[in-house]
């Protein structure tokens, strides 16, 4: 989110070791040396194949038509405008907006008279991660399904009317306004259907659901019941109310949704942040004395001085059954506690499930979790608690292009009582500190981590790190204002047996963002156009041809560029030739790119339109998507379809 700087770009790692930029610089210099020594075009191509032989193998499976890129849409020109735009030949449909009904009893949306009761039945604010679950259950339908949507946070100044005409401030909200904000967080399950080519919602659908900060949830796994998870309201340490700052996410092979709690640090405050027994832990997670939100003034559990353990109950991956609105969401502690951005799964050849995750803060890490047992497609009950048993790993990137996954297991290496780890629960509650001690590679805000379903390669969106001064092989620029994309290549990538559970892999840089010729180090395909360059990669998705679609967060408006969606081949002649497909309205971030199974619809979550300096509820920089004087800007899920009904791209 564009205004996340004070809660997301804290850089709470006290002593990052060999950050990714230094590793990337060395790695790139070695590649350049090989190419330089080659001397001829033919030899240069040979050097590239020696560096990355799997790329050549997979490229043979992707047909080349219409030049170096297989993407045939007319490229959009960069813009910064009050409305959005998409490539010619496509149309934008508004599926659901903030305040639209989710539950049957939902009242009409009244932006100047918002209540927590109404908001808890309406579509929440700042939609982020999206998941489409076809209906009927188990089908491959691309016309009917459940849409899961994360509601990450609230943009108070443009969401709530202020007093005396002034924009509302996060730190000035009343108890009633704070209750509205709490109800606007969480997630929504909404039944949707395509009718005569148009997507529409079914308010009051039997499986529709709103999840908020007050929804009862269960803590499970090795940290459940830990003394540091117990509060005055829950002496067992196994029950918690709600979920906070749900950013990206994922799903499981057995049909549940995984939603990631990210910047939970923004909601807690108190003197204990500096003086309490857990002050060091609070510091490592960026929990401040003075909050971004002033919920602690109205709700005791957000006060560190009254409930010092409450923050430890957030920062987890939450598993939700979208088919059962009465089910209890479960926070799976085995997957670690940090600022989760994304949670995507892959299946190893032996059936074990692998979950890839990023910790979205500068100088923090990339993780994966490997289940102890394989999943069973024929016995759903056997998968119910599969995510409670397994091993959590953190990534260490080496200069020579190899990657090692280091286990975060109690009793191994430095994770012992000598460092105040007395059980696996301690390791998981303080995942960041455990990863520090293992010597994991500090990254440039690792956000989404996604697996290419065609090649098996894994892509890490590194949004930026404007505060770093040291480069390394995996982050080659000392000041990385525009971000980059790293590609992890597990053993067997490009074959039918991708070893996602392996403890070693290779890595490469897919692209270095920024404007070529202007931003030092920017690197794409040589045929990238004037409008094809991007800044601040955030989320990504893959179509059924294995092409990457990158959503951005933080494009340089000063250069007349809004955030958008860029697509590129991942293999072959068009590799890393990014092309602009969609651009958001001013102030907005593009989130949650998601294709229907048949690739005929691309869903996008357009978050915080109109956000920015000077923009307010009464005088926003845009009134997208309604453009009505009585409506503020509204976060909205859109569907992009091809006008002739064909596949996207």
Is residue 73 classed as helix, strand or coil in its secondary structure? coil
Q: What local confidence, expressed as pLDDT, does residue 447 receive?
A: 94
CA distances from 511 to 27, 254, 409, 482, 534 (A): 14, 34, 33, 11, 10
For a pLDDT cut of 90, what percent of the chain falls above it? 83
Q: Quick one: pLDDT band at residue 30, thresholds 50, 70, 90?
A: low
Q: Rounded to the nearest 10 degrees, what angle do helices 41-51 and 20-38 cross at?
A: 140
Residue 60's pLDDT band, with cuts at 50, 70 and 90, is very low
> Within 10 A of 481 (CB to CB), how many other CB atoms are there?
16
| Nearest in space to 502 (alpha carbons), one of 338, 399, 391, 365 | 391
Q: State the pLDDT at residue 170.
A: 82
Check whether 99 has a pLDDT greater than 80: yes
Number of domains in the chain: 1
Distances, alpha carbon 426 to alpha carbons 61, 294, 301, 649, in Å: 47, 29, 22, 47
The better pLDDT of the pair 353, 42 is held by: 353
Preceding peptide of 514 cis, ω within 30°: no
Question: Is 574 inside a domain boundary?
Answer: yes
What does pLDDT average to over the chain? 91
Whole-number CA gyration radius for the chain: 23
Q: Which domain holds residue 453?
A: 5-262+315-469+478-642
Q: Are 56 and 496 in contact (CB under 8 A)?
A: no
Question: What are the start-end ranges of the E strands in 242-389?
Answer: 246-251, 257-261, 317-320, 330-332, 340-347, 352-359, 362-364, 366-374
Domain presence at residue 274: no
What tens digit of pLDDT does each residue of 591-626 get? Answer: 999 999 999 999 999 999 999 988 999 999 999 999
Domain contains 27:
yes
pLDDT tens per residue across span 446-479: 999 999 999 999 999 999 988 777 787 887 888 8
Contacts 24+ apart (CB under 8 A), 108-116: 111/161, 111/617, 111/630, 111/631, 111/632, 112/161, 114/160, 114/180, 115/176, 115/179, 115/180, 116/176, 116/179, 116/180, 116/182, 116/183
Model pLDDT, residue 28: 64
> Taking a C-beta distance cutoff of 8 angstroms, is the pair 83, 585 a contact?
yes
641 three-state secondary structure:
strand
Judge whether residue 154 has pLDDT over 70: yes
Establish if 258 belongs to a structural domain.
yes
What confidence tier does 25 reach under pLDDT thresholds 50, 70, 90? low
**Sheet strands side by side (includes 239-241):** 239-241, 216-220, 330-332, 317-320, 257-261, 246-251
Does some domain include residue 290? no
Phi-psi region of 517 (alpha: psi -120 to 50; beta: other; left: phi over 0): left
The model's pTM: 0.92
* Residue 11: predicted pLDDT: 66
pLDDT at 7: 54
Q: Does residue 45 carry a pLDDT above 60?
A: no
The whole-angstrom separation of Cα 6 and Cα 292 is 8
Residue 291 forms part of a structural domain? no
Distance of CA 28 to the CA centre of its chain: 27
Give the pLDDT band of residue 72 (cuts 50, 70, 90).
very high
pLDDT at 50 over 50: no
Q: What is the DSSP string of 214-269?
A: TSEEEEESTTTT-GGG--SS-TTS-EEE----EEEEEE-TTS-EEEEE--GGGG-B
CA angle 365, 366, 371 (to 5 degrees): 130
pLDDT digits (tens, 9 = 90+) for 548-559: 999 999 999 989
If DSSP codes are grouped into helix, strand and coil, which group holds residue 54? helix
Q: How large is the average pLDDT for residues 45-55?
A: 37
| pLDDT for residue 429 | 98
Residue listed under structure tokens 């306004």: 177
Q: Give CA–CA dist 633/629, Å, rounded.
A: 10
Kindly report, residue by residue over 368-381, the tens digit of the pLDDT.
999 999 999 999 88
pLDDT band at 65, cuts 50/70/90?
A: very low
Does 496 reside within a domain? Answer: yes
**Residue bearing the bigger pLDDT, 150 or 13:** 150
| Segment of 9-18, 189-198, 460-469 carrying the highest mean pLDDT | 189-198
Beta-strand pair 216-220/330-332: parallel
* H/E run at residue 51: helix 41-51
pLDDT at 168: 81
Q: Would the CA dihedral through 82, 266, 167, 160 be positive or negative? A: positive
Q: What pLDDT is attached to residue 167?
A: 75
278 within domain boundaries? no
């Amino acid at each position: 989110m564009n205004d996340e700087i004070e809660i997301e770009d804290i850089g709470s790692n006290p002593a990052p070791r060999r950050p990714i930029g230094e590793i990337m610089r060395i790695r790139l210099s070695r590649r350049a040396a090989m190419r330089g020594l080659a001397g001829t075009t033919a030899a240069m191509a040979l050097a590239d194949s020696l560096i990355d032989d799997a790329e050549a193998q997979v490229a043979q499976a992707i047909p080349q038509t219409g030049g170096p890129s297989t993407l045939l849409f007319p490229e959009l020109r960069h813009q910064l405008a009050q409305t959005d735009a998409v490539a010619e030949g496509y149309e934008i449909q508004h599926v659901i907006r903030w305040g639209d009904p989710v539950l049957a009893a939902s009242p009409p949306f009244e932006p100047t008279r918002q209540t927590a009761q109404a908001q808890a039945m309406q579509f929440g604010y700042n939609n982020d991660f999206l998941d489409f679950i076809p209906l009927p259950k188990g089908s491959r339908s691309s016309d009917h399904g459940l849409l899961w949507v994360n509601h990450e946070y609230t943009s108070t100044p443009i969401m709530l009317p202020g007093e005396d005409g002034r924009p509302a401030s996060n730190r000035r909200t009343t108890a009633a306004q704070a209750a509205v904000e709490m109800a606007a967080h969480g997630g929504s399950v909404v039944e949707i259907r395509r009718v005569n080519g148009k997507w529409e919602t079914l308010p009051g659908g039997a499986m529709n659901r709103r999840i908020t900060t007050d929804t009862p949830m269960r803590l499970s796994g090795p940290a459940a019941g830990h003394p540091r998870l117990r509060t005055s309201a829950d002496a067992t340490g196994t029950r918690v109310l709600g979920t906070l700052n749900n950013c990206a996410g994922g799903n499981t092979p057995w049909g549940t949704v995984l939603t990631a709690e990210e910047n939970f640090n923004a909601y807690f405050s108190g003197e204990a942040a500096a003086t309490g027994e857990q002050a060091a832990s609070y510091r490592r997670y960026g929990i401040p004395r003075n909050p971004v939100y002033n919920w602690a003034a109205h709700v005791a559990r957000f006060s560190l001085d009254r409930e010092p353990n409450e923050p430890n109950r957030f920062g987890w991956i939450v598993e939700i059954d979208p088919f059962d609105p009465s089910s209890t969401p479960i926070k799976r502690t085995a997957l670690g506690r940090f600022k989760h951005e994304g949670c995507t799964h892959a299946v190893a050849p032996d059936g074990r499930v692998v979950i890839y995750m990023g910790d979205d803060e500068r100088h923090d890490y990339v993780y994966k979790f490997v289940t102890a047992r394989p999943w069973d497609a024929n016995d759903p009950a056997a998968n119910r608690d599969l995510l409670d048993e397994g091993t959590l790993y953190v990534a260490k990137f080496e200069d020579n292009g190899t990657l090692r996954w280091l286990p975060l297991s109690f009793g191994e290496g430095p994770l012992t009582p000598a460092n105040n780890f007395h059980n696996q629960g301690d390791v998981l509650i303080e995942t960041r500190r455990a990863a520090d001690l293992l010597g994991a590679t500090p990254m440039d805000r690792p956000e989404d981590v996604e697996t290419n379903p065609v090649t098996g390669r894994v892509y890490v969106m590194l949004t930026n790190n404007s505060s770093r001064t040291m480069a390394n092989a995996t982050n080659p620029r000392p000041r990385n204002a525009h971000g980059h994309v790293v590609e992890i290549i597990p053993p067997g990538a490009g074959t039918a047996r991708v070893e996602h559970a392996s403890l070693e892999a290779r890595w490469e840089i897919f692209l270095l963002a920024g404007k070529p010729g202007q931003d030092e180090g920017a690197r794409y395909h040589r045929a990238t156009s004037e409008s094809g360059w991007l800044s601040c990669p955030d989320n990504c998705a893959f179509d059924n041809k294995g092409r990457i679609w990158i959503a951005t967060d933080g494009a340089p408006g000063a250069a007349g560029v809004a955030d958008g969606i860029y697509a590129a081949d991942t293999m072959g002649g068009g590799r890393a030739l990014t092309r602009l497909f969609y651009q958001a309205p001013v102030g907005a971030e593009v989130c949650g790119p998601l294709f229907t199974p048949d690739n005929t619809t691309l869903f996008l979550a357009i978050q915080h339109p109109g956000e920015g300096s000077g923009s307010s509820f009464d005088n926003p920089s845009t009134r997208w998507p309604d453009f009505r004087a009585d409506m503020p800007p509204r976060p909205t899920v859109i569907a992009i379809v091809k006008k002739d009904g064909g596949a996207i791209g």
